Amino acid sequence: MSEIVFSSWGRKIVDNRSGGSADLASLKLKIPTEYLGNSKVKAFMGWDGVVLLDKDTDVVAMAAEYMKRVQEKHCCGKCTPGKKGTRVLQDTLARIVEGHGSEADLDTILNLSELLEECKCTLCKTAVIPVQDTVNHFRDDYLAYINGKRKAPAAGIDYRDKLTAPCMDRCPAHIDIPAYIEEIKNYRFDESLDVIRRRMPIAAVCGRVCPHPCETACRRALVDEPVSIMVLKRVASDHEWMHHKPFPAKPKAPTGKKVLVVGAGPAGLTCAYYLALEGHKVKIIEMLPEPGGTVAVGIPDYRMPRHLLRREAENIASLGVEIVYNTKLGRDIALSDAKKEYDAIFLGTGCFKSKPMGVDGEDAGYEGFSPGGIHYLRAVALGQGIKTPKRVVVVGGGNTAIDCVRVALREGAEESILVYRRTRNEMPAESYEVDDAEEEGVRFEFLVNPTKLVTKNNKITGVEVIKMELGEPDESGRRRPKPVPGSEYVIPCDMVIPAIGQDPDLSYLDDCKDCKIKKTRWNSVLTHGGTMMTDDEGVFAGGDCEYGAMTVVMAVGHGKRAASVLNRYLKDGKAMLDDEEALEDAVNRLGVFNDKEKIPLPGGLKREHQPKISGPERAKNYEEIELAMPESQAVVEADRCLRCYRVAMVAIDQ
């Protein structure tokens, strides 16, 4: 059922109670019509209104329950307007539903918005919006309770609620960002890290190399600049490390269940961490000689010091997790054998196959041609004897390509050139990474594309490129590059490194005759329903091998979700979402951030920036470039957070 009976969402009123029709799709409302596959959604109530899908929904009872949960579960009580205002709303609505209300109570509800505008954060002031919508548009329903025509709410209705915020929603790990920032604001760094670790065990990593999508949904940016969310995460993590504090986590009692995690990258480490906390016996096998996966061998030390990555893995191992290195699935252990030995398996095998460029000569084995950017970075990181010549050309526009050209300089290249077929504006790499590369002396050749390798005596001497021009946008929204006929020229070089993307290596599935795991058309592992379980019961997957090459924080989110569902699978025999996860997905599809919102603040509080080593001199070593933000400065930055909490609630069939 997707027909809308009534909607005030987005401040747009759609009322079909007396006729007319509209559905969720026509209003572009991505609200679920089913809950956990076995209950119908009757209504949705949240920070921007109320949506009714069932005409028999008791909106008065729903409003009363909504405000009860806002006041008792989610109101922090740290400001008088929020604490008292929501309590007045709760009591007033309860009194009406109990049959002791008066018409004057409706005026009380409508007049409270002015008081709630003075709240410390946005939770209470947005919570009143859907309640007032019900009073304004369902007044007769309220009067039915007040006048005794309705005695009690209908039976058979249940409610589920969810706390969120624009930044929390945009974060793939769904960390309670306002909470950990609030702790930093109050100089409670240990408590801040505790909040982070509820959803993310590798804060030292994500405090450095996360692309921080949360900051694209920061409401502070609508006033001046987004809060430095990622760096504040690093501040909390660095505090524990720099003060030599012990890792505080302790696992529950052993369950007797055994889980194999394949891959010690962000997804695998995260999954292992949360499973170990639940008391399960976890073993990680990792094909590399150290933990971290792509983070360890694909992100250079000047961005992510490996000793801190190893520390995160040691913390996880301290929970009883066994990590075995130099062990590859499909080579050293067969998946079919692992299925017999373990109660469940999590595949976090990453993306280590480089995509081909599709140019003449790339398969000829020329000296000076690298199989791919991730291969080059791994060889350098592991000290595998790769020699970087004087002139290097890297093809691509993502973060891996940027890392390659910067590493080439550190490995002795005199010229490090990045070739990209679009303009700088279309580069998927983080803009600050491109700025850093430029500062270090990287040369950029934009709007050109390789056509063939130029060689002499079986060695690379250059790469032929053709000039490009941008045409109409493609499916990614970026303008499609088209070659300019007759514009070819040669860039002299001694090495060519393609860095145009990576694919999962799922060769370990080939010899598993009893495996039911299916692949997507992108050659990644297929999982179902947000549970991260494959078609092979008890085998879960997440991270790059499930989604394709992506971000560290997305892999962490996958690992956390997989561990949560896998834990229920081990205990109850079913791979299913819980209420928190179901609403997490529902709210995420709906979207929380409104980039058109007008925020009545003067602004002018500029973003604090962490210290940074500058200039081309830094390209001579692998010392960390971005330094720790002083804690006193972090407190100032944390004070910029607007605490943009919201509460959502669905009414469902019992």
For the chain, how many residues are written?
654
> Tokens standing for 308?
């801190």
Distance, CA of 45 to CA of 25 (rounded, Å)? 18
User: Does 322 map to a domain?
Assistant: yes
pLDDT in tens, 301-335: 999 999 999 999 999 999 999 999 999 999 999 99
CB 231 within 8 A of CB 203: no
Q: Measured on CA atoms in the order 549, 553, 554, 560, is the torsion positive or negative?
A: positive
Same domain as 387, residue 483: yes
Residue 1 reports pLDDT greater than 60: no
Same domain as 489, residue 369: yes
pLDDT band at residue 512 using 50, 70 and 90 as cut-offs? confident
Residue 19: the pLDDT is 83
pTM for the predicted model, two decimal places:
0.95
User: Does 441 map to a domain?
Assistant: yes
**Percent of the chain topping pLDDT 70:** 100
Same domain as 372, residue 237: no
Q: What is the CATH number of the domain that holds 621?
A: 1.10.1060
Distance, CA of 604 to CA of 47 (rounded, Å)? 27
Q: Which of 469, 485, 503 is the last residue of a domain?
A: 503
Q: What is the CATH number of the domain that holds 272?
A: 3.50.50.60
Same domain as 295, residue 234: no
Same domain as 103, residue 17: yes
Long-range contact pairs involving 374-379 (C-beta distance under 8 Å, separation at least 24): 374/294, 374/297, 374/298, 374/400, 374/499, 374/502, 376/404, 376/407, 376/497, 377/297, 377/298, 377/299, 377/300, 377/403, 377/404, 377/407, 378/297, 378/298
User: Does 225 map to a domain?
Assistant: yes
> What's the domain range around 363?
354-503
Residue 270: the pLDDT is 98
pLDDT band at residue 514 using 50, 70 and 90 as cut-offs? confident
The predicted model gives 368-373 an average pLDDT of 94
Residue 402: the pLDDT is 97
User: Does 289 map to a domain?
Assistant: yes
Distance of alpha carbon 406 from its chain centroid, rounded?
Answer: 26
How does the average pLDDT of the chain come out, rounded?
Answer: 95
Domain count, the chain: 4
Q: What is the CATH number of the domain that holds 16?
A: 1.20.1440.230
* Among the ranges given (41-45, 78-82, 543-547, 627-631), the one the predictor scored with the smallest mean pLDDT: 78-82
Helix (H, G, I), strand (E, B), or coil: what is residue 322? strand
- Percent of the chain as helix, strand, coil, to the nearest 5: 40, 20, 45
Residue 177 reports pLDDT greater than 90: yes
Same domain as 492, residue 477: yes
Distance, CA of 432 to CA of 438 (rounded, Å)? 10
Same domain as 404, residue 428: yes
CB 269 within 8 A of CB 291: yes
Same domain as 118, residue 25: yes
pLDDT in tens, 109-151: 999 888 888 888 899 999 999 999 999 999 999 999 999 999 8
User: Does 365 map to a domain?
Assistant: yes
Same domain as 492, residue 376: yes
Same domain as 117, residue 15: yes
Residue 539 reports pLDDT greater than 70: yes
Same domain as 441, residue 363: yes
User: Does 646 map to a domain?
Assistant: no
> Tokens standing for 32?
């679920």
> From residue 218, how far is each of 48, 335, 403, 593 by CA, in Å?
17, 43, 27, 8
Same domain as 229, residue 331: no
Residue 438: the pLDDT is 95
pLDDT in tens, 281-293: 999 999 999 999 9
> Tokens standing for 322?
């066994």
Residue 38: the pLDDT is 87
The predicted model gives 97-113 an average pLDDT of 94
User: Does 310 map to a domain?
Assistant: yes
Helix (H, G, I), strand (E, B), or coil: what is residue 76? coil
Residue 20 reports pLDDT greater than 90: no
The predicted model gives 502-519 an average pLDDT of 90
Residue 474: the pLDDT is 80
Q: Which of 503, 522, 554 is the last residue of a domain?
A: 503
pLDDT in tens, 457-482: 999 999 999 999 998 888 777 788 99
Q: Which of 155, 182, 214 is the last residue of a domain?
A: 155
Residue 384: the pLDDT is 93
User: Does 60 map to a domain?
Assistant: yes
**Percent of the chain topping pLDDT 90:** 87
